[in-house]
Amino acid sequence: MKKEQHKSQQRYRQLYLRWKSSGKGARVFCEQESIKYSTFWYWAKKFKASALPKHEFIEMKVDKIEVKSSQPLAELRLTDKGALIFYELPEPAWVKALLA
Protein backbone atom coordinates (compact mmCIF):
# COMPACT_ATOMS: atom_id res chain seq x y z
CA MET A 1 0.00 0.00 0.00
CA LYS A 2 1.32 3.41 -0.92
CA LYS A 3 2.34 5.71 1.92
CA GLU A 4 -0.28 8.36 1.03
CA GLN A 5 -3.04 5.76 0.79
CA HIS A 6 -1.99 4.28 4.14
CA LYS A 7 -2.19 7.72 5.78
CA SER A 8 -5.60 8.27 4.21
CA GLN A 9 -6.79 4.89 5.46
CA GLN A 10 -5.58 5.67 8.98
CA ARG A 11 -7.27 9.08 8.91
CA TYR A 12 -10.59 7.66 7.74
CA ARG A 13 -10.43 4.78 10.22
CA GLN A 14 -10.11 7.33 13.03
CA LEU A 15 -12.99 9.33 11.56
CA TYR A 16 -15.04 6.14 11.18
CA LEU A 17 -14.50 5.18 14.82
CA ARG A 18 -15.40 8.70 15.97
CA TRP A 19 -18.53 8.62 13.82
CA LYS A 20 -19.60 5.20 15.21
CA SER A 21 -19.32 6.46 18.79
CA SER A 22 -20.94 9.83 18.03
CA GLY A 23 -24.45 8.53 17.46
CA LYS A 24 -24.85 10.97 14.56
CA GLY A 25 -25.94 10.23 11.04
CA ALA A 26 -23.12 9.91 8.51
CA ARG A 27 -24.14 13.01 6.52
CA VAL A 28 -24.36 15.20 9.63
CA PHE A 29 -21.00 13.90 10.86
CA CYS A 30 -19.37 14.60 7.48
CA GLU A 31 -20.77 18.13 7.38
CA GLN A 32 -19.50 18.85 10.90
CA GLU A 33 -16.07 17.43 10.06
CA SER A 34 -15.96 19.20 6.67
CA ILE A 35 -15.28 15.97 4.81
CA LYS A 36 -16.78 14.68 1.58
CA TYR A 37 -19.63 12.27 2.32
CA SER A 38 -18.95 9.95 -0.66
CA THR A 39 -15.29 9.52 0.30
CA PHE A 40 -16.15 8.92 3.94
CA TRP A 41 -18.82 6.38 3.00
CA TYR A 42 -16.38 4.55 0.68
CA TRP A 43 -14.04 4.00 3.62
CA ALA A 44 -16.87 3.27 6.08
CA LYS A 45 -18.09 0.39 3.89
CA LYS A 46 -14.56 -1.04 3.71
CA PHE A 47 -14.12 -0.87 7.49
CA LYS A 48 -17.55 -2.39 8.12
CA ALA A 49 -16.88 -5.26 5.67
CA SER A 50 -13.50 -6.02 7.22
CA ALA A 51 -15.14 -6.28 10.65
CA LEU A 52 -17.60 -8.97 9.53
CA PRO A 53 -16.68 -12.54 10.51
CA LYS A 54 -15.59 -14.84 7.70
CA HIS A 55 -17.67 -18.01 7.49
CA GLU A 56 -16.40 -21.20 5.96
CA PHE A 57 -18.03 -24.47 5.14
CA ILE A 58 -17.51 -27.42 7.44
CA GLU A 59 -17.81 -31.00 6.32
CA MET A 60 -20.95 -32.80 7.42
CA LYS A 61 -21.15 -36.58 7.17
CA VAL A 62 -24.53 -38.11 6.37
CA ASP A 63 -25.57 -41.63 5.53
CA LYS A 64 -26.81 -42.33 2.03
CA ILE A 65 -30.49 -41.49 1.89
CA GLU A 66 -32.78 -42.93 -0.72
CA VAL A 67 -35.82 -40.88 -1.48
CA LYS A 68 -38.85 -42.78 -2.71
CA SER A 69 -41.24 -39.91 -2.40
CA SER A 70 -42.08 -36.84 -4.37
CA GLN A 71 -41.61 -34.81 -1.19
CA PRO A 72 -38.54 -32.54 -0.93
CA LEU A 73 -35.64 -33.90 1.08
CA ALA A 74 -34.11 -30.53 1.92
CA GLU A 75 -34.67 -26.85 1.35
CA LEU A 76 -32.02 -24.15 1.39
CA ARG A 77 -33.48 -20.69 2.01
CA LEU A 78 -31.46 -17.77 0.67
CA THR A 79 -32.20 -14.38 2.19
CA ASP A 80 -34.03 -12.19 -0.34
CA LYS A 81 -33.09 -14.59 -3.14
CA GLY A 82 -35.64 -17.37 -2.81
CA ALA A 83 -35.00 -21.00 -1.98
CA LEU A 84 -33.49 -24.14 -3.45
CA ILE A 85 -35.53 -27.30 -3.00
CA PHE A 86 -33.70 -30.63 -3.20
CA TYR A 87 -35.31 -33.96 -3.91
CA GLU A 88 -31.96 -35.65 -3.41
CA LEU A 89 -28.83 -34.45 -1.64
CA PRO A 90 -26.43 -32.52 -3.88
CA GLU A 91 -22.68 -32.90 -3.68
CA PRO A 92 -21.24 -30.57 -0.98
CA ALA A 93 -18.74 -29.12 -3.46
CA TRP A 94 -21.62 -28.12 -5.74
CA VAL A 95 -23.41 -26.28 -2.91
CA LYS A 96 -20.18 -24.56 -1.88
CA ALA A 97 -19.51 -23.42 -5.45
CA LEU A 98 -23.09 -22.22 -5.82
CA LEU A 99 -22.91 -20.05 -2.70
CA ALA A 100 -19.40 -18.70 -3.32
Note whether 70 and 47 are same-domain residues: no
E strand or H helix that includes residue 76: strand 74-78
The confidence score (pLDDT) of residue 65 equals: 65
Q: Per residue in 60-70, pLDDT tens?
A: 777 776 656 67
Note whether 8 and 47 are same-domain residues: yes
Domain that holds residue 28: 3-51
Highest mean pLDDT among 32-36, 52-56, 76-80, 87-91: 32-36
The SS3 call for residue 83 is strand
Closest CA to 15 of 50, 44, 38, 48: 44
Note whether 83 and 63 are same-domain residues: yes
Q: Per residue in 10-56, pLDDT tens?
A: 999 999 999 999 999 999 999 999 999 999 999 999 888 777 666 77
